[in-house]
Structure formats: C-alpha cells, structure tokens
Copies of this chain bind each other. A is one copy, B any other.
Amino acid sequence: MDRDEPAGDSGEDRLIARFFRPLVTAPGALGLMDDAATLTPPPDHDLVLTVDALVAGVHFFPHDPPDLIARKALRVNLSDLAAKGAAPAGCLLALALPSDTPEAWLEAFSRGLRADVEEFACPLFGGDTVSTPGPLTISVTAFGTLPRGTAVRRRGARPGDRIVVTGTIGDAALGLALRRGDEAAARWSLNEEQRSLLIGRYLMPRPRLAVAEALRISATAAMDISDGLIGDLAKLCRASGVAATVQAAAVPLSDGARRACDADPAVRTTLLGGGDDYEILATVPPAALSQLQRRGAELGIPFTDIGVIEAGDGPVSVLDRNGKALDLARASFSHF
C-alpha cells in the first residue's frame, strides 16, 4: 500500500526514462511523459484491440532470457492482430515488478521489446510500472488498424469451407516438453538442431502479420492457435455454429515433430492438442483456397489444407488415414 516503494512510483519515472523512453518513436506517445498517449487513426479504418497477460512461473519460466520474455509478450498480441487481418499500430505495457528485479533484467527486457517494436513497426505508446510482492507480471495491450469493416472474425466459417493452417503445428508444445525436461522427450531421439528449433518455437512465436491482408481477402473466419489446434478449432466452430472434420495425416509437421511422433505415437495428442503455436487457423471457401495458398507461398508462409467445415454444432472429428475417428479429439476436448 506504500506508493513510495523502490520499484513503485518513486522509481517509476527513472525506470521509464532509462529503459522505456528509447522505445518510443510515435509522436502521440509524448515521450511517455504524459498520462495518456494519442493516436490518429487512418481515415476509414477500424481499430483492433487485444490484451494478453503473462505471469512468471505460469506463462514463462522465471529464468527465461528477459529479452525473449518481452518479445513473446508482444508477439502473442501481434499474433491476435494478424489473425484478425490487422496491421500493428502500437502497444501499451503494464509491468508489475518484484522489488528485487535486477536492472540487468530490465535492460534485457527493454532491449528485446525494442527489437520487436522496431521489427513489427509497433511503437510503444505508454505504460504503467508498479511494484508487486508476487511474480513478475506483464500485460501488453496491442492495437492495430484495418480498412473499415474488414476484420476477420471467428464466427464466419460456413459448411463447405476448407480449414487451413499456416506453418507447422505442435512444435511449441514439444518445445515446452523439451524445456521442462519431460521424461518422454528423452525418447524422441532428436538431433540438436531439431531440439533447438522446437524450443525456439516455444520461446519465440512468429506472428503471421505478413498474411493479414490475404486473410482479409480470402478467409471467412480466422484465429491464432494459442491453446492447441483441436481446442481452438472447436472454439471457432462454436463461434460460427458449425462442425469440422480434420484429416490428422494432413496436419503439417516439422521434421522434429514428425520424428518425435514416429518415436512415440502418444506425441500425436500433444501435437494436435498442445498450445502456443501462434500459427493461423482459418477457413476459406473452396474457390478461394488456391489464391490464398499461392499468396502464402509467395510470402514464404504456407497454408496447408487440413479439413473441412460441416453443418452441425461444434464437434470436431479428427480422422486417421483410414477415415477412422481418433480418440485424441475427445481427450483434447476435455481440456477446454
């Protein structure tokens, strides 16, 4: 309740000046020296708004590299913007810091944030830094813009639409298992490159902003995959009032994921049910599929056709090569 704690209001101005003012490039941010920032939206555009909170020990390991924590905190929000078809316009940062947070941690955190703010043209507009007796907690609000009325929603999927995903699925869930040192992971017999690729997918999502425009043009519905392919597809189906069938064999896997799956068939459940991929899940009318895939290929972000939207109310069936329904759908469902 003391407003003069070291990392509280007393230290806040110094801390902001030292670590966060260098990240501010938007004139409306007023150099972080005001109560609020201003943004002039482009004419005839909508704003897209999203917020994500990350807690040390829950959403990241406390000893993860601070620059990667900052980048992931921003990227999970940018991924939401991408899925809606928006271009980033800026972000706000709320940071609750334990009083023993080393300056070196903040230096590395702000360095990571700066790298991504620049890479994704998403300037810091403002923030709030407070002290906490608990775990370090990060909340990032990101806002993007898109032409008025063109946001891609979860609820537009129609029977007959093809279901597509970008990139490869399940890598981050395997990366998390590897980082945790899960016993099972030892049996996957991955080489060092495969291991580090999977761990990297967990630590550093790649927001698929490059395909935002293509989604606006072609997709009837979209979301990013943050809680696992099957669970997130179920959410999309619920929002759209439809059902879905996924061909398990069509789901795109990285080399490492495929190898892990060959070594341990139980990995399939992790791949299809695990979270944190931050790939795009979208539905697209069959007539628009090849255009979307062509555009994705041009951008180096493949869209893979994994199944079809059907009439019905919500259930997602996952079929094996023989058309037999897999149990994992049910197993995965129980998580959501």
Contacts and interface: CB of A to CB of B under 8 A. Distances in A.
Interface of A: 1-5, 8-10, 13, 28, 30, 33-41, 43, 46-55, 57-61, 80-81, 83-84, 86, 90, 92-96, 125-135, 137, 139, 141, 143-144, 148, 151, 153-155, 176, 180, 223-224, 227, 235, 238-239, 275-276, 335-336
Given A34-B154, A39-B46, 19 more contacts: A5-B58, A9-B227, A33-B154, A33-B239, A34-B84, A35-B50, A35-B80, A35-B83, A35-B154, A36-B48, A36-B50, A39-B49, A40-B46, A49-B92, A53-B96, A55-B130, A96-B137, A134-B134, A134-B137
Given A128-B51, A133-B135, A148 B40 contact: yes
A301 B91 CA distance: 34
B133 A35 contact: no
Given A34-B239, A35-B50, A39-B46, A59 B92 contact: no
A176 to B, nearest CB: 7
A231 to B, nearest CB: 9
**Copy count, this protein chain:** 2
A60 to B, nearest CB: 8
